[in-house]
Amino acid sequence: MFLRQIYNYANLRASFHALQRAASSTGNTGTASATLLYNRDPQPRFTDPETQKLLQSMTQLQLEKIFQKTTVPDNSVDYKLMTMDMLEDEFRKSIERAKNRLQMPPVVQMKKDERRIISNDSALSGFSDTKYVITDITYGLRQTERKVVVRQTDGTLEHAPMEITKRMHQLYFPLTGRSIRTPRMFADEHLQRCLDEQKYLFILNRMVVQFDPFEPEFHTISSRVYQHINETKQFDILRSTRHFGPMTFFFAWHRCIDDLLYDMVRRDYLQNAAELIALLYKLHDMEPNYKNILKQIDEIKPKEDLALKELEKALKRASSDVKEDIQSAIGKTQVDFELDDLCLPFIEDYISKHALKKVQLELATQTIKEINAEKRQLFEGISKAHGVA
């Protein structure tokens, strides 16, 4: 499964490069419908390093979620004996694998199907009852470099439309998990059933395999899923998966982040909430002061080794350090409290200026403020009692 995904990514990236070239020539393709679509090319904004960093931070890396139990053909268990160093190495590798799994599918513009005629040989008109499709099946070519042309019955030689090209590629170089015909679950009525059952991950994972990011279906289906999630407010299903970033980007692009923001505040992910607002400001060039706060967050946040942290967590060491004991009891560190102090005013500023669901958000902020104040008091009290600065 994993390998397949990686392969798929490689494929996506290949097509993505081709799209960059194509995107510059095509104009607006947005259609006015119930499903929100990108009206401009979102790719430059999406691939921007700052955006990527924000999206990755918001996605969060929860190992329990990434490596949650799934059905596999071989569910055997292997045991190994290890020293601390070996274990640390193993954790590092595992974190790398986790990061790989969180690699986001690209958000690019929809590609338009254009008729590109190579030559018009009217002498060949009526040479056959059917048109001929000619595919270049040279070994080792990228799918995007592979030429597929059609000789029409009237003698015209032209590049094959996208649909035929995709079918030919799948026919000669099948991609595991992709079927030649579109699976019926993507038909309207079945998709609606899947959405109603909240099988968002299932839909998105299959969609990523079945469609390329520049295909219209990719856009409509993902948009439908994101909008449905926004209605049911089940953002946590996608958290710590590769689809959380594109979803957040989608909401920020279409200026409907309030529900997601509310969810983040309620779950005490205040840093993520601030990042979400920053993303919104960035995408729409609203308030330039967001850069400051991001810088400050970066400064406060210690550069910690993720693998070591996870390892410590796993070992659940009865640590002799009182400081760590207090932290694990309350669930927050001194740094977390400082970050909260930094993020809360920024969030409140957004709520007062731009938010659509003001009352709800204000209430949530107030509640989380009180809870954190209480936690802080407790934290300081215990620290003082133990004589820890």
Partner 1 sequence: MVGVFGKSVTIMYNHVLRNILAPSKEVATNTFRYTSFYNKLSAEDIWRGVTSVSNAGKKRGRGKGSGKRVAKDLNRGQTIGVGSRNFVWPGLNAPIVRGKTLIQQERLSEVNNMDRNINKIRDLMGTYRIAKVNSIDRGWSGAKMPGRSIGPPDAINEEMFENFDTRVLENKIVFIMKGNMGRKRRYSVLSITGNKKGLAGFAVAKAPEVRTALRKSKNRAAQKVIKIELCDNHTVFHDFSCAFGKTRIFVQRKPEGYGLICHRAIETICKVIGIRNLHAKIEGSTNLQHIVKALFLGLLQQKTHEEISRKTNLHVIEFRNETGLHPHIISKPESCKASKDPLSKEVSDYTQYVLDDQISLKKRKFAPFYIDSKGYNLFLKRKEQVRNQQKVRVNMNAFDNDLQSV
Task: At 62, list the tokens.
Answer: 């929860």
Q: Which is nearer to partner 1, 183 or 345 (CB)?
A: 183
Q: Is 320 in the site for partner 1 (CB under 8 A)?
A: no
Q: To the nearest whole angstrom, how small is the minimum distance from the Cβ of residue 283 to partner 1? A: 33
Q: Is 306 in the site for partner 1 (CB under 8 A)?
A: no
Look at the block and give the residue holding tokens 């997601």: 260
Q: Is 138 in the site for partner 1 (CB under 8 A)?
A: no
356, 260 contact by CB (below 8 A): no
Write out the H or E segment, with its range, that includes residue 118.
Answer: strand 117-120
Instruction: Name every residue whose Cβ is closer than 8 Å to that of residue 121 and which is 6 or more positions away in sequence.
Output: 155, 156, 157
Q: Which is nearer to partner 1, 67 or 172 (CB)?
A: 67
Task: At 223, list the tokens.
Answer: 């948009």
Instruction: Name every residue whose Cβ is closer than 8 Å to that of residue 184 and which is 6 or more positions away in sequence.
Output: 190
Q: To the nearest whole angstrom, how small is the minimum distance from the Cβ of residue 5 to partner 1? A: 11
Task: At 229, list the tokens.
Answer: 């999630």
193, 218 contact by CB (below 8 A): no
Q: Which of 18-26, 85-93, 170-178, 290-298 is the region at the interface with partner 1 (rule: CB under 8 A)?
A: 85-93
87, 164, 300, 382: which one binds partner 1 (CB under 8 A): 87
Q: Is 69 in the site for partner 1 (CB under 8 A)?
A: yes
Q: Which of 26-34, 177-185, 259-267, 351-359 is the region at the interface with partner 1 (rule: CB under 8 A)?
A: 177-185
32, 72, 123, 359: which one binds partner 1 (CB under 8 A): 72
Instruction: Name every residue whose Cβ is closer than 8 Å to that of residue 257 and which is 6 or more positions away in sequence.
Output: 248, 251, 276, 277, 280
Q: Is 318 in the site for partner 1 (CB under 8 A)?
A: no
Q: Which is nearer to partner 1, 25 or 75 (CB)?
A: 75
Q: Which is nearer to partner 1, 67 or 132 (CB)?
A: 67
Among 319, 308, 254, 301, which residue's Cα sits nearest to residue 280? 254
Q: To the nearest whole angstrom, how small is the minimum distance from the Cβ of residue 98 to partner 1? A: 8
3, 32, 84, 389: which one binds partner 1 (CB under 8 A): 84
Among 385, 288, 362, 373, which residue's Cα sits nearest to residue 337? 373
Look at the block and give the residue holding tokens 């500023």: 349
How far is CA 300 from its chain centroid? Answer: 26
Q: Which is nearer to partner 1, 101 or 323 (CB)?
A: 101
Q: Is 130 in the site for partner 1 (CB under 8 A)?
A: no
Q: Which of 72-80, 119-127, 273-281, 343-351 is the region at the interface with partner 1 (rule: CB under 8 A)?
A: 72-80
Strands 132-135 and 148-151: antiparallel
Q: How far apart are CA 245 and CA 50, in angstroms?
A: 13
Q: One symbol per residue from 11 to 40: x for binding partner 1 (CB under 8 A), - otherwise; what is it?
A: ------------------------------
Q: Is 3 in the site for partner 1 (CB under 8 A)?
A: no
258, 235 contact by CB (below 8 A): no
Write out the H or E segment, with its range, that includes residue 123.
Answer: none
By CB under 8 A, name the binding residues for partner 1.
Answer: 2, 63, 66-72, 74-87, 90-91, 94, 97-98, 101, 179, 181, 184, 314-315
